[in-house]
Structure 1
Amino acid sequence: MAAIIGHILPLALGVALSSVPIVVMVLILLSPRGRWSSLTYLIGAVIGLLGLTTLFSAIATLLPPAPPEAKSPLIGTIEMLIGVGLLVLAAIRWRRGRRHEHNPAAGTPKWMSKVSSLGPIPSLGLGFILMLRPKNLLFTLAAGVAIGATGATFAEAVVGIAVFVVLGISTIAAPIIFAVADPARMRRPLEGTREWIERNSSTVTTVVLLVLGTVVVGSGLAHY
């Protein structure tokens, strides 16, 4: 169990620090229908992340179990491919950030400007869809392999999935809960958070992808 938690903690951190779901959460909270729309957005994100993690964990149980000495070239190869994918995404994100620095007029994507007008049902769908972004898919796939391909019992798998989902969703769940409880007090911090993320999201995302990609590649190498 400890080995599973150790593998999924950095991956859950990668999901939690994904800038787009956080910015969308802030925009929804600042919208006229923010209270109900933010709650359905959170529900959609939980359903998406939980469903993906459960699916990948179940598929990973079909892989041959690692031998007692914890050497498994197949699992190692899968982890290395996921890690390389994260490193490629880091390079893409860095290049996009550089282009944005040279062309600030590019601004926020057009679809994000429409977020503040979303109602509860569209917000639920958006929360679900944002969990299907390529970066999240790689993080969740790596977590599924860590949970399902290690011979964990059903109870251990349930705990591992729960820990991954709770931590991965924490950065949008906590602000939503506090904002719903006291919207007036949270408005100013939310506006400051939105501005900070819009200025620094490229750097934060690149560093997170680079670090976690390296960690996952290293974990894969350890299986050889």
Structure 2
Amino acid sequence: MLDVIGDLIPFGIGVALSPFPIIAVLLLLTAPVGLGGSSLFLLGRAAGFALLTAVFAVVSDLIDQAAGSSLPAAVLRLALGVVLVGVGIRKFVRRPRADAAPKLPGWMQSIERTGRGGALRLGFVLTVVNPKEIAFAAGAGLTIGGAFLPIGQAIGAGALFVVLACLSVAVPVTLVAVAGDRVTPVLQTAKNWLIANNAIVMALVLIVIGAMLIGSGVSGLSG
């Protein structure tokens, strides 16, 4: 169980470092929906990761049981790691120039008009349809499913990943709930930095997590 937790922590931290969800929740906190909308965004995000992780854990377990070994899950981790490293390198190479003005995606520009229901849906959809978020959840789910843990331990491991994955969104929501407008300047500074540097941050996260998946896959193949 401890080995599984050790393997899950980097996936959770990798998701937590993803800049777009952090930018989204910071925008929500300064939008009319404020704290209530951002809290629902957090809830939707947690539900999305719980669903994805459970699906990949079950798939991994079924594949391994059908094959009679953990080799298929190891191959999947290896392949996923190669893809993540490739996407990370591509993202780094194609990052905007230093003098280029940062530009938000259209869905972020419309966040100010989002209601509470929209914030909840956004948190869920941003998780379950984003290839990068799916990849991280797949790594966590494959790790859990390939470990053949008892159901209680598997649920606990999945819950740990979800908590870690949502931590960077939960922190600003909690800060605003506790300190109110006093933390607004700090959050504004963080949002501006993430908008300007999101490509580099995401590229590095993808490369590091991809490399870890490759190592885990190779270890599974040799084992």
TM-score (norm 2): 0.92
Is residue 179 from structure 1 mapped to residue 176 from structure 2 by the alignment? yes
Aligned equivalent of 2:88, options 83, 87, 90: 90
Give the corresponding residue for 1:115.
111
Distance 1:197 1:102, change over 3 A: closer
Amino acid at match of 1:90: G
Partner SS, residue 104 of structure 1: coil
CA contact (8 A) 1:11 1:139 kept: yes
Tell me the distance in 2 between the aligned counterparts of 1:171 and 1:30. Answer: 17
* CA root-mean-square deviation: 1.9
Amino acid at match of 2:116: P
Give the corresponding residue for 2:219.
222
Aligned equivalent of 2:138, options 102, 120, 141: 141
1:140-171 deviation line (CA, Å, top 9, x unaligned): 11111111121100111011001100011000
1:1-224 maps to which residues of 2 (within 5 A)? 1-64=1-64, 72-97=70-95, 100-101=96-97, 104-105=100-101, 107-132=103-128, 133-224=130-221
Partner SS, residue 149 of structure 2: coil
User: Which stretch shifts more, 32-41 or 88-97?
Assistant: 88-97
Tell me the distance in 2 between the aligned counterparts of 1:74 and 1:196. Answer: 41
Partner SS, residue 163 of structure 1: helix
Amino acid at match of 1:17: L
CA contact (8 A) 1:89 1:135 kept: no
CA contact (8 A) 1:131 1:137 kept: yes
CA contact (8 A) 1:85 1:138 kept: no
Partner SS, residue 39 of structure 1: helix
Structure 1 runs of 4+ with >4 Å offset: none
1:21-55 deviation line (CA, Å, top 9, x unaligned): 00001000011221211111111111111111112
Distance 1:172 1:102, change over 3 A: closer
Tell me the distance in 2 between the aligned counterparts of 1:208 and 1:95. Answer: 14
Give the C-alpha shift of residue 105 in structure 1: 4.5
Distance 1:204 1:102, change over 3 A: closer
Partner SS, residue 151 of structure 1: coil
CA contact (8 A) 1:44 1:128 kept: yes
TM-score (norm 1): 0.91
1:83-104 deviation line (CA, Å, top 9, x unaligned): 012112202321331xx21772
Give the C-alpha shift of residue 64 in structure 1: 2.1
Query: In the comparison of the two structures, how many residue pairs are matched?
Result: 219
Tell me the distance in 1 between the aligned counterparts of 2:162 and 2:82. Answer: 23
CA contact (8 A) 2:70 2:146 kept: no
Tell me the distance in 1 between the aligned counterparts of 2:112 and 2:49. Answer: 23
Tell me the distance in 2 between the aligned counterparts of 1:106 and 1:41. Answer: 24
Amino acid at match of 1:181: V
User: Which stretch shifts more, 15-24 or 171-180?
Assistant: 171-180
